[in-house]
Amino acid sequence: MKTKRMGAQTVQPERPPVICAAASVVGKKEGDGPLRERFDAVNQDSYFGTKSWEKAESAMLKQCLELACQKADLAPESLDYVLSGDLLNQCAGSAYAMRESGAPYFGLYGACSTMAESLSLAAMLIDGGYADRCAALTSSHFCSAERQYRFPLEYGGVRTPTAQWTVTGSGALIVAADGKGPKVTAVTTGKIVDAGIRDVSNMGAAMAPAAYDTLKAHFADTGRSPDFYDMIVTGDLGQIGHAVVTDFFRRDGVDLRHNYTDCGLLIFDREKQDVHAGGSGCGCSAAVLAGHLMKLLTDGQIRRLLFAATGALMSPTASMQGESIPGICHAVAIEMEGGAT
Amino acid sequence: MKTKRMGAQTVQPERPPVICAAASVVGKKEGDGPLRERFDAVNQDSYFGTKSWEKAESAMLKQCLELACQKADLAPESLDYVLSGDLLNQCAGSAYAMRESGAPYFGLYGACSTMAESLSLAAMLIDGGYADRCAALTSSHFCSAERQYRFPLEYGGVRTPTAQWTVTGSGALIVAADGKGPKVTAVTTGKIVDAGIRDVSNMGAAMAPAAYDTLKAHFADTGRSPDFYDMIVTGDLGQIGHAVVTDFFRRDGVDLRHNYTDCGLLIFDREKQDVHAGGSGCGCSAAVLAGHLMKLLTDGQIRRLLFAATGALMSPTASMQGESIPGICHAVAIEMEGGAT
């Protein structure tokens, strides 16, 4: 057997799994943004037909999985594993959404890195011979997140310039052993990195050191330079975090300005949509990957993507106790045509 | 390659990974219980030397991983993956505990099923060729759980007879491709099962249908009868849930009375320790497995164990919105000597 490990944090599937279908469902504000045409469904109702924001998040994620399954022409219960998680306490968004899926379920918590975590594990479970078909998915909802993280909300309260806007959105990928579509050719799993940031209105800065750490590990482990990729996209660092990562690499003599962007910058129009530093939330990178980036790959506009979702692993309780914010970032190389190089 | 899938929910490692070290750290009450001699460390201080119960949980889990690593004679940063999660919002117990581990981190949320979920994924990552050494671990703390799930606590508030007592405890396993110790020979991943129970003081009843579902799938997938195992141990069903599972199987004509018990029944003396229906929490099954059951295996008192940790996937918010409690159960077959049959 060919070795699957490439350095300390990266593995390379022997038979790169295929992302054979993707679906994205978002809220109204995301549907007003620059990627409006790239999502499968935009719901104008922030309740998604339910009676609470938490139930709305579950309804959105459930719809997203069903759409992805329809596109892959399979029933949810025929999935070998569903891998999902979200930001809500006890990941209740996912648990209630997947309650009737009828598939074996692995609950994950990677905060906003969940899309990369679920895709990483799905790829390894498939290439490892344990599964033929998995769903990797996640979601966030502006209202359920605001209520949970920032309650009580003060009417007219001012958001700082570094704050980000939690995306109401979800993304689901069907990953399979065979089929047509972009392939997962490398998986770099992040370590927890805590640079001591305590400002919960500056998540971009808190997560950027983790993104830098994982991207650096990916390049070192694989021997690839950033130029190998047509696009390198971090999860939800927004304007601040994106600038920090760019600057960290610049100091190393690596120029990321040509092919590096961030899902939090792509999903909203920062000038018109009043989102301050950009989008955030599990659903940000999930919807951008499952909606926009997958189409770039399948339409042939890019061939090699490095998707590096980022997460802030704090809780409101930890922050109230004076703790700093631990960050994490997982990177997944996704390529059209051909397997591992 | 030999097929690794056995039926709809079960996989069988080709080269069964070895649990080469285990550690358990618990609180005072657990140290007063019948398993007192089976744990590595009992801390008399519910704060574990910190200033909050949440930090205490992280300190306990960190100590537990360090102990397990010492026993396996390896540094935490040499682990290929750490797989961990807990009950705290945003799984902050694990994130802060693993912040300085220096190892690639997969955060999990399986509620009290986390010990089986982390062990399942660790075994597949190793047998799949992605890792040589992983840590699978989890924790719970009575005080951090009470504050989170049942706040405001009323002084003198009465607990119902079906209520369980959240264990202050943690368990960590080092799983490796080679070495000496019990082996993981089969992994059955559970589906979410919701039987409509809404009483958050009766978690045993809420989780029992999931345990029944997963155990039944395990027996069907593997062709093994319950008698194949010296012990079948569910996670933290306590007295009520254990009785429900036993009764469900009895109706199927299957007698589990000889070899079936539950971690929530083992860890406390229900007559003397005022824990009502028994122990619960991620740390319950984790400490009982890493402390007691692993010793039964390594001492040769049992050879074949089916460990089936159970979790209730609700959140307080979902329960307040009138939702029922989704349950899940993951089962892992652990055998001394010999691999898959």
**Contact (Cβ atoms closer than 8 angstroms) between residue A134 and residue A126:** yes
Contact A108 B105 (CB under 8 A): no
d(CA A208, CA A234): 9
Bridge-based pairing state of the strands B169-176 and A41-43: unpaired
- Chain A residues whose CB is inside 8 A of the B54 CB are 317-318, 321
Neighbouring residues of B102: CB distance < 8 A, sequence distance ≥ 6: A191, B76, B77
Nearest-CB residue to A96 (from B120, B191, B326): B326
Three-class DSSP category at A280: strand
- Chain B residues whose CB is inside 8 A of the A213 CB are none
Residue found under tokens 């990916």:
A218
Nearest-CB residue to A326 (from B5, B96, B121): B96
Read off the pLDDT band of A153 (50, 70, 90): confident
Contact B54 A321 (CB under 8 A): yes
Which of 194-223 (B) contact A at CB < 8 A?
194
A with B: how many residue pairs have Cβ under 8 Å apart?
A: 180
- Burial code of A270-298, b = ≥16 C-beta within 10 A, e = fewer? beebebbbbbbbbbbbbbbbbbbbbbbbe
For the full predicted model, state whether its pTM sits above 0.80: yes
Domains of chain A (ranges plus CATH)? 5-162+166-175 (3.40.47.40), 181-335 (3.40.47.40)
Closest among A9, A43, A53, A32 to A221, alpha carbons compared: A9
d(CA A124, CA A184): 10
Contact A110 B109 (CB under 8 A): no
**Contact (Cβ atoms closer than 8 angstroms) between residue B22 and residue B238:** no
Contact B190 A104 (CB under 8 A): yes
Which of 226-285 (A) contact B at CB < 8 A?
none
Ordered per-residue pLDDT tens for chain B, 341 residues: 457 999 999 999 999 999 999 999 999 999 999 999 999 999 999 999 999 999 999 999 999 999 999 999 999 999 999 999 999 999 999 999 999 999 999 999 999 999 999 999 999 999 999 999 999 999 999 999 999 998 777 777 788 999 999 999 999 999 999 999 999 999 999 999 999 999 999 999 999 999 999 999 999 999 999 999 999 999 999 999 999 999 999 999 999 999 999 999 999 999 999 999 999 999 999 999 999 999 999 999 999 999 999 999 999 999 999 999 999 999 999 999 844 34
Q: Is B66 exposed, middle or buried (0-12, 13-18, 19+ CB in 10 A)?
A: middle
Q: Output the six-digit token pair for A277.
A: 């530093």
Which of 3-22 (A) contact B at CB < 8 A?
3-5, 8-9, 11, 14
